[in-house]
Structure 1
């Protein structure tokens, strides 16, 4: 009879987790707007002076603004960026976006969710109707694609 392997303990301190990050990585930050953000994680990233050139995927809030203020972000994918429920842009994010020092990719919130779901499942993409009929394609250029459904269901996913 074979024994079931014992799962290894994957817990680690915040500093241990952040020490594994490298410049140029893509990171996803949880929470929604200004709520439920892992701000201890953001502060730990800010303490890493050598950590830069990050691509950040977020439902944006103060996390993205703080990372932009420290020059940590080179590219951001987000559904929105606000400091609260009211549509108030984070000033550091707004400055970096306006001056062009970061590449910013705003998208439909459903597109963010589909992308994160695909990443969690280790898939290259996950088809979604989110964003269709909006201006997202006009701003993204060739970065976004539509696909034909392999199933007989109204043809294209459009």
Structure 2
């Protein structure tokens, strides 16, 4: 193959790569929030004002949590009889039981943490890239 042939092959490969990358950006899922939005049924009636966007599933909260965490590992996870509480960098995914299935609430951590603090307590470490530094006088200094 001559130089011109190699040039055509190279340019063609670059174009294919650009198309694949573009499709990944447009159709890809890059967060737990986007993953939930793509896979569960929207339930506007269950939204909590402008803070939490609601979705529904016919699966149990434990099953929904497993589906989500299989794809998106949370920073923190808290489970009790009231539901499953997943904390991500900027978002929370709260999965509550319904008579038939689950209610999934997506909310920014800035509003979710105060809302669910009485439930999750210190199980959700607050803040981006927070390191727990022990306790007692002078902790965190």
Q: TM-score, normalised by structure 1?
A: 0.27
Give the number of the structure whose residues are more often strand, by fraction.
2
Q: Which has the larger radius of gyration?
A: 2
Give the number of the structure whose residues are more often helix, by fraction.
2
Q: TM-score, normalised by structure 2?
A: 0.29
